């Protein structure tokens, strides 16, 4: 019989959880750079920017069985943004749902890891992406269905800020509040970027927190690259009443986070990275992680003393 781990939330204190999630985020970033290098290009900036969110979800919040990705009692993570699949594959590898060795097949013919997320290809991928603005509509239907079946699972829908341009997102937002889907959490990666340029220039969505609140949601807005803030927001979002208001965690993130060379890239939606630049990216990522890790451990020691 296989022993399965149903929850990854083992460490008790906030600082222990923060350290575990931060380490997971670093590995997710490493995996994403590795997959990007296999293809020489890709949506690497989004994966780096969203790594802290994905690590918070997979290393701390979700209940799942790595050996049995279709376990009925699992919490559901729905990625609306198919082009962020590289980030989700990295998180699924970190979570033990797909083997780390498989990441080198990313984007190749016959791979289970296509560039745009496909639920029929990849274990742990709940929905297919591609056409933006549909994830939240599916999440609402799924939340209703699970409630009718008496299933207590949590549903987390990851959206990009570009998906806030879609009317279907707002129909779903109103529907979720109307049906009091308290087990639903939406998380929006506000990286201020879209394929056609800055979000601000494509379609102004601010004040975005007010819009969600007006639709009847509990709203949390955090620095999406601050693991401590993410943990607190996700804890609060997940502890609402089952038949109460849904919650949204608005995450302000930085494209390319953790790799200064890519943080400064002008064409950031789909990055082309020169062959010689990959080594620089990896070095910068590791150097940043080492410095941050020392800082986090120091802060944790201070917390223990206090
Ligand atoms: C319904 C729909 N319209 C347009 C597109 C084309 N498209 C692909 S990615 C993208 C950008 C959307 O914004 P966002 O996801 O915030 O971009 P990112 O932050 O990844 O740069 C667009 C418009 C699409 N996939 N689906
Ligand atoms: Mg965006």
Question: What pLDDT band is residue 9 in, cutting at 50, 70 and 90?
Answer: low
Query: Is ligand 1 within 6 A of the CB of residue 161?
Result: yes
Which string of DSSP letters, residue by residue, matches 96-133?
TSS-GGGGGGTTSTT-S--SS--TTTSTT--S--SSTT
Q: Which residue ranges form the domains of the chain, and what is each CATH number?
A: 14-305 (3.40.50.970)
- The confidence band for 295, taking pLDDT boundaries of 50, 70 and 90, is confident
The Cα–Cα gap between 33 and 48 comes to 8
Residues 111-130 have a mean pLDDT of 95
Burial of 293 (0-12, 13-18, 19+ CB in 10 A): middle
Cα–Cα distance measured from residue 183 to residue 242, given in angstroms and rounded to the nearest whole number: 6
How, if at all, do strands 197-198 and 218-223 pair?
unpaired
Paired residues of 197 in beta bridges: 194
Under 8 Å between Cβ of 285 and 262: no
Read off the pTM. Answer: 0.95
Out of 166, 194, 204, give the residue to mutate to test ligand 1, the one with the largest number of ligand atoms within 8 Å of its CB. 194
Measured CA to CA, the distance from residue 61 to residue 151 in angstroms comes to 17
Cβ-in-10-Å burial (0-12, 13-18, 19+) of 196 comes to exposed
Query: How far is Cα 164 from Cα 161, in angstroms, rounded to an integer?
Result: 5
Strands (E), the chain: 41-42, 76-79, 155-160, 184-190, 193-194, 197-198, 218-223, 247-252, 271-272
User: What is the distance in A from the centroid of ligand 1 to the CA of 130?
Assistant: 8
pLDDT tier, 203 (very low <50, low <70, confident <90, very high otherwise): very high
pLDDT above 50 for 4? no
Residues 15/190, Cβ–Cβ less than 8 Å: no
Query: Any idea which of 36-40, 224-228, 233-237 has the lowest mean pLDDT?
Result: 36-40
Mean pLDDT of 61-78: 97
133 lines ligand 1 (CB under 6 A): yes
Q: How far apart are CA 14 and CA 27, in angstroms?
A: 20
The token duo for 66 is 């790595």
Instruction: Give yes or no for residue 131 CB within 6 A of ligand 1.
Output: yes
pLDDT band, very low/low/confident/very high, at 305 (cuts 50, 70, 90): confident
Distance CA 243, CA 205 (A): 28
Per-residue CA distances from 242 to 164, 226, 231, 232, 238 (Å): 25, 27, 20, 19, 9
Judge if the beta carbon of residue 195 lies within 6 A of ligand 1. Answer: yes
Three-state SS for 189? strand
pLDDT at residue 1, as a whole number: 34
Residue 254 Cβ inside 6 Å of ligand 1? The answer reads: no
Please give the pLDDT value at position 289: 93
pLDDT of 5 over the 60 cut? no
């Amino acid at each position: 019989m296989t022993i399965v781990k149903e929850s990854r939330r083992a460490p008790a204190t906030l600082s222990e959880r923060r350290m575990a999630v931060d380490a997971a985020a670093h590995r997710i970033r490493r995996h994403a750079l590795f997959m990007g290098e296999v293809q020489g290009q890709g949506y690497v900036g989004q994966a780096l920017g969203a790594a802290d969110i994905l690590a918070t979800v997979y290393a701390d919040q979700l209940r799942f069985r790595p050996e049995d990705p279709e376990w009925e009692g699992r919490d559901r993570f729905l990625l609306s943004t198919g082009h962020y699949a590289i980030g989700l594959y990295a998180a699924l590898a970190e979570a033990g749902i797909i083997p780390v060795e498989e990441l080198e097949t990313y984007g190749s013919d016959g791979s289970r890891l296509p560039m745009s997320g496909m639920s029929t290809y990849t274990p742990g991928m709940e929905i297919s992406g591609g056409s933006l603005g549909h994830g939240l509509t599916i999440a609402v239907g799924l939340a209703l269905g699970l409630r009718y079946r008496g299933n207590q699972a949590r549903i987390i829908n990851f959206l990009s800020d570009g998906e806030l341009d879609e009317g279907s997102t707002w129909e779903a937002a109103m529907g979720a509040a109307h049906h009091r889907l308290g087990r639903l959490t939406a998380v929006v990666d506000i990286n201020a970027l879209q394929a056609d340029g800055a979000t601000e220039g494509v379609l102004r969505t601010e004040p975005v927190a007010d819009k969600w609140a007006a639709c009847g949601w509990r709203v949390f807005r955090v620095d999406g690259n601050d693991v401590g803030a993410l943990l607190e927001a996700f804890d609060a979002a997940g502890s609402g009443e089952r038949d109460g208001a849904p919650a949204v965690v608005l995450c302000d993130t930085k494209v390319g986070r953790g790799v200064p060379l890519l943080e400064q890239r002008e064409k950031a939606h789909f990055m082309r990275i020169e062959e010689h630049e990959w080594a620089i990216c990896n070095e910068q990522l590791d150097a940043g992680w080492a410095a941050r890790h020392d800082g986090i451990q120091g802060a944790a020691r201070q917390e223990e003393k206090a």
